[in-house]
């Protein structure tokens, strides 16, 4: 059942963040967010818009949803993540992308994706990374790791692989691109 509502949440947050510049106050933003959620439920050819989008882009990771959720909350007045917090989170997800995606593209003989099916060693390493993020006061990255791990433990998504809860191609591209831009500055 939860693999049904996660695409609706992703759709609503994406539409909201794309259209939020058209609003002027929090009341309009609230209406836009509610409208985005309702729009995700609109059926087209027998399937909702959110599930249609899912067929094209796949599922977003829980970490992506946490970052989208944080961006959404910041539009409602919650303070945005600090520059250091944002940089640490981007570095974490860029590092995970560099670890996972070259092997997924056939550029390596190692198969880190296989580790996601029995992730005990991964959980220990990422638990230590989470502690480091908390010590550095990088709450956004720590929250993304904790919620992705919790979602995996509760099997809230359709996948049985821990990697799918941690990172997706869009988060990988965003993290790598944003780090390159930050490095260029």
Closest CA to 11 of 44, 46, 59, 47: 59
As for how many domains the chain has, the answer is 2
pLDDT one-digit tens code per residue, 133-173: 999 999 999 999 999 999 999 988 888 999 999 999 999 99
Whether the per-residue pLDDT at 13 is higher than 90: the answer is: yes
Same domain, 37 and 74: no
Same domain, 119 and 132: yes
pLDDT one-digit tens code per residue, 2-12: 557 889 999 99
Same domain, 114 and 148: yes
* pLDDT of amino acid 151: 93
Same domain, 7 and 64: no
Same domain, 37 and 107: no
* pLDDT of amino acid 83: 87
Same domain, 179 and 93: yes
Write the DSSP string, 57-83: H-PPPHHHHHHHHHHHHHHTTPPPPPH
Full residue range of the structural domain in which residue 12 is found: 1-58
What's the rounded Cα separation, in Å, for the pair 110 and 99? 10
Q: Furthest-apart CA pair in the chain: how many Å?
A: 53
Same domain, 86 and 104: yes
Give me the chain's average pLDDT, please: 91
Same domain, 127 and 173: yes
* pLDDT of amino acid 67: 94
pLDDT one-digit tens code per residue, 60-112: 999 999 999 999 999 999 998 888 899 999 999 999 999 988 887 777 788 88
Instruction: Give the angle subtended at the CA of 162 by the CAs of 160 and 165, to the nearest 5°.
Output: 95
* pLDDT of amino acid 3: 57
Contact 82, 76 (CB under 8 A): no
| Residue 48 region by backbone torsions, left for phi larger than 0, else alpha for psi between -120 and 50, else beta | beta
**Global model pTM greater than 0.85:** yes
What's the rounded Cα separation, in Å, for the pair 73 and 173? 23
Same domain, 104 and 38: no
Same domain, 116 and 182: yes
Same domain, 42 and 79: no
Closest CA to 77 of 23, 9, 36, 139: 23
Domain termination residue (choose one: 58, 86, 107): 58
Same domain, 102 and 183: yes
What's the rounded Cα separation, in Å, for the pair 31 and 29? 5
């Amino acid at each position: 059942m939860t693999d049904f509502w996660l695409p609706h949440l992703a759709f609503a947050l994406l539409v909201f963040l794309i259209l939020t510049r058209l609003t002027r106050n929090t009341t309009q933003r609230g209406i836009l967010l509610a409208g985005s959620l309702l729009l995700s439920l609109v059926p087209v050819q027998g399937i909702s818009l959110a599930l249609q989008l899912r067929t094209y882009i796949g599922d977003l990771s829980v970490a992506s949803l946490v970052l989208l959720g944080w961006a959404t909350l910041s539009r409602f007045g919650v303070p945005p993540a600090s520059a250091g917090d944002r940089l640490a989170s981007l570095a974490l997800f860029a590092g995970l992308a560099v670890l996972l995606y070259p092997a997924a593209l056939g550029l390596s003989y190692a198969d880190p994706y296989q580790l996601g099916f029995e992730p005990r060693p991964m959980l220990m390493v990422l638990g230590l990374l989470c502690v480091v993020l908390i010590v550095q006061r990088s709450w956004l990255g720590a929250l993304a790791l904790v919620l992705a791990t919790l979602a995996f433990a509760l099997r809230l998504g359709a996948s049985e692989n821990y990697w799918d809860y941690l990172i997706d191609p869009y988060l990988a591209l965003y993290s790598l691109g944003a780090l390159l831009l930050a490095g260029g500055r």
